[in-house]
């Protein structure tokens, strides 16, 4: 599962800050806790709809190279996610910050993976909006793509 996003800013550091340090609650889910700013730290993400929790996952920080690369591994959450890795690669191309995103090591290309692929794009657009306008759409204000899984 792969995505690429271009941000019209020459400041990969700014995008990086939003990826693992202070910004996750502002574009992904406003219920983000834990330690994102050190290798070995665990970040907890909880998601809700209409005030009811619908899911969570915990990610362990495996690599942390601000403005270059961040790698997380899912240590708890949906069974299909446990053990998968999420990588963020950041780089500059002229006036743009490029974000290369991967959610790797799914055991099987299950339908839930298809769903997550679409949903990741939604959250990346939230990140893009946060960078460009100062306002993201984190859960529970995220775009609902489904009546089944979220």
Q: What are the Cα distances from residue 132, in Å, to 10, 63, 101, 120, 121?
A: 12, 26, 18, 18, 16
- Interface residue with a copy of itself among 25, 62, 75, 122 (CB under 8 A) is 122
Contact between 1 and a copy of itself per CB under 8 A: yes
State the minimum distance, in angstroms, from the CB of residue 143 to a copy of itself: 7
Could you give the CA distance from residue 57 to residue 60 in angstroms, rounded to a whole number?
A: 10
Contact between 118 and a copy of itself per CB under 8 A: yes
Query: Which CB, 42 or 69, lies closer to a copy of itself?
Result: 69
List residues near a copy of itself by CB under 8 A. 1-6, 8, 93, 95-96, 98, 100-102, 109, 111-115, 117-118, 120-122, 124-125, 128, 143, 145-149
């Amino acid at each position: 599962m792969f995505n690429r996003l271009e941000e019209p800013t020459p400041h990969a550091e700014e995008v990086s800050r939003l990826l693992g340090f202070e910004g996750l609650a502002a574009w992904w889910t406003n219920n983000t806790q834990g330690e994102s700013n050190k290798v070995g730290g665990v970040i907890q993400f909880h998601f809700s709809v209409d005030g009811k929790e619908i899911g969570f996952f915990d990610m362990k920080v495996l690599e942390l190279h601000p403005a270059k690369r961040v790698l997380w591994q899912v240590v708890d959450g949906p069974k299909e996610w446990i053990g998968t890795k999420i990588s963020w690669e950041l780089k500059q191309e002229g006036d743009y910050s490029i974000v290369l995103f991967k959610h790797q090591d799914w055991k099987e290309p299950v339908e839930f993976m298809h769903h997550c692929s679409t949903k990741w794009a939604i959250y990346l657009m939230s990140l893009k909006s946060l960078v460009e306008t100062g306002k993201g759409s984190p859960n529970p204000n995220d775009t609902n793509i489904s009546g089944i899984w979220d």
